[in-house]
Amino acid sequence: MILQALNRYYDILAADEESGVAPFGYSIANVSFVVMLSTDGELMDLYPLFQRVQRGKKMIEVPQRKIVPEQQKRSSGIAANFLCDNSAYVLALSSKDTKNPDYAIKRFEAFREWNKKLLAKADCEESRVMIAFLNSFNPHKSKEHPVIAGQLENILKSTGNLIFKVEGHQGYIHQTKEIQQVWKAYKEESGDAQLGQCLVTGEKAPIARLHASLKGVVGANSSGATLVGFNARAYESYNRVNGQGLNSPVSEKAAFAYTTALNYLLSRENENASIRIGDTTVVYWAESADKIYPAIFSSMFNPTFNTPEEGADNTRDRKGEQRLHEIAQKVKQAQMLDTNSLLEGVDPETRFYVLGLAPNVARVSVRFFYTDPFQKVIEKILAHYQDLAIEKEFNNQPTWIPLWPLMMETVSRKASNPQVTPLLAGSVLRAIFSNGPYPEALYYAVINRIRTDIDDPSHNIKKINYVRAAIIKAYLTRKYRNQNQNSIQEVLIMGLNEQSTNQAYLLGRLFAVLEKAQQDAIGQANASIKDRYFASACATPGSVFPVLLRLSQHHISKAKYGYISDKRIENIMNLLEVENNPIPAHLTLDEQGIFVLGYYHQRAAFYKSKTEINDETIQETEN
């Protein structure tokens, strides 16, 4: 299903002239230099093909991306490409010559023989010029050539390819009509490829032995990785002995289509960049040429769109850009979004796809694959945000919490290389798109961080913060949504519920009140009761709260307004009814989460009350 969806998306991209995807038989490659030839086949010049791009805070030069004849997949050995290759094949130049003197010469010879064989079938001046160059160029003296000598250092340093052009001719040699016809005929010939039924299209066609590499998956080999591949007999099915590709028979055209579409989604040419979550690279697309679908999806996960500039290119979709900007700003500024506004002007039934890919040595593994009508995708993302919604500690915190901050709350900020558990990100995304329960691993990881962390502003660590409380609330909300647990549902709300009699919730509230009593008495202590007792109070309250209640009397007696804390403690103790229902010796993991919510809600209520008092004071002063 993944390959079929990508195959259909390639057809959509191929029909769009602005997409820039390569047609069948071609691929997009990084090109660093153009080899200029005279009409006699002499090397006249080498001029660079670099462009300046922004990478972080720096402007750097990178090779230009050009559509060239499809390049072979090379893992080892020698395999030359047609009219576009690296410096070892094209000019017999390589930095590896110091260890292997024949390294570049052997590759140039392979390039020469392969290209001459194909070019001999093209009746045009460009093919004759190229053959003359291949015959006359001396690979043993390439470094001594006056044109090459001036560019030698840049050529050896570059990782891009080289293409050819004839002096006075339009376009590059591989773009010549007659040469393109020769290349097309070559690609359409079955050659050694075995005919079979393609599992993607169902048609009988030549089966691809190797599939093109995917580039852009974070953590995968820089040279590319394979989504479909078998490199040992142990992985092949019975009686599939004539080629690697026969174990999963995909036609050459279908293999080209799905890899081209996927490489486009992973590339920088894609306006809606892939999203990285942990070790997972997430790509997404709609079964439509309209780019508004992935743009809306991206703006809800990564709200980074800039304000459209006045007087910019009138050919661009100014109205669409403004709409995306507004969506992104609403996500950032905690304003409500609704399904109707997000679906304005689009077909809600358009099929939408989300694919998560992770590196696996020289291969790519599928973390998850999700598809649904676009309307359902939007509804499930909004449901995810709504389940996370909880009262904020500070007004400048976002209501819509992006996925990456959620994941980072599961790892220690003091780790030298904090990494989210690889499978966790995929599990969370599956929960979002299926509208199902969040993974238990997410909840346990957050509870563990709360137990072990100590407030440390220098490392931006807060034991119980807005994001962690939101995760706990969302996890418990989905877990108990369809269960008859009224005492739990009543505390899974945005803010403080002063009427709740849930014991774990009340104990969490009580701990927040006891902490406030200490702060009122002695200010910021070097080691507060939260630092010393929170983990044990959350897990084994029966052994901790008697100690804390006795200690609170000392704090209340020292505080200027200690009677307020005393009254709060009394109200909560009355709801606990400890005489009839003693403080439990242990709390379950779910009850520990409710304890944290009680603590967080009560502490947020303190801040809210303080803010409201300050606002009232300001208003009275103004009046």
Each residue of 186-235: pLDDT tens digit? Answer: 887 755 668 888 888 988 888 888 888 888 898 888 778 888 877 665 55
Question: Which residues, other chains included, contact 320 with Cβ-Cβ below 8 Å and sequence gap of 6+?
Answer: 292, 295
Q: Name the residue among 555, 29, 165, 14 with its Cα closest to residue 6.
A: 14
Q: Which pLDDT value is given to residue 316?
A: 40
Q: Using an 8 Å Cβ cutoff, are 7 and 200 in contact?
A: yes
Q: Hey, how many other C-beta atoms are within 10 angstroms of the C-beta on 166? A: 22
Write down the domain spans for the chain: 19-188, 189-266, 498-590+600-623
Q: Using an 8 Å Cβ cutoff, are 239 and 251 in contact?
A: no
The length of the chain is: 623
Q: What is the pLDDT of residues 3-26, one digit of tens each?
A: 999 999 999 998 887 888 888 889
Q: Which pLDDT value is given to residue 390?
A: 93
Beta-strand relationship, 26-37 and 161-166: parallel
Burial of 210 (0-12, 13-18, 19+ CB in 10 A): middle
Angle, helices 177-188 vs 125-136, to 10°: value is 80
Q: Which residues of 433-457 are buried (b: 16+ CB within 10 A; e: fewer)?
A: beeebbbeebbebbbebbeebeeee
Q: In angstroms, how far is the first alpha carbon of the chain from the final one?
A: 67
Cα separation, 525 vs 531, in Å, equals 10
Cα separation, 430 vs 273, in Å, equals 20
Please provide residue 546's backbone torsions phi and psi, each rounded to the nearest 5 degrees. Answer: -55, -40
CA distances from 300 to 306, 308, 326, 332, 401 (A): 14, 18, 11, 9, 10
Instruction: Give me the residues of the chain with pLDDT under 70, please.
Output: 190-193, 231-245, 302-338, 485-486, 609-623
- Residue recorded with tokens 């989905």: 478
Q: Hey, how many other C-beta atoms are within 10 angstroms of the C-beta on 392? A: 19
Cα separation, 354 vs 196, in Å, equals 30
Q: Which pLDDT value is given to residue 245?
A: 60
Angle, helices 318-332 vs 292-301, to 10°: value is 20
Q: Using an 8 Å Cβ cutoff, are 238 and 44 in contact?
A: no
pTM, two decimal places: 0.78
Q: Which pLDDT value is given to residue 277?
A: 82
SS3 of residue 288 by DSSP: coil
Q: Hey, how many other C-beta atoms are within 10 angstroms of the C-beta on 225? A: 22
Q: Using an 8 Å Cβ cutoff, are 250 and 198 in contact?
A: yes
Q: Which pLDDT value is given to residue 232?
A: 63
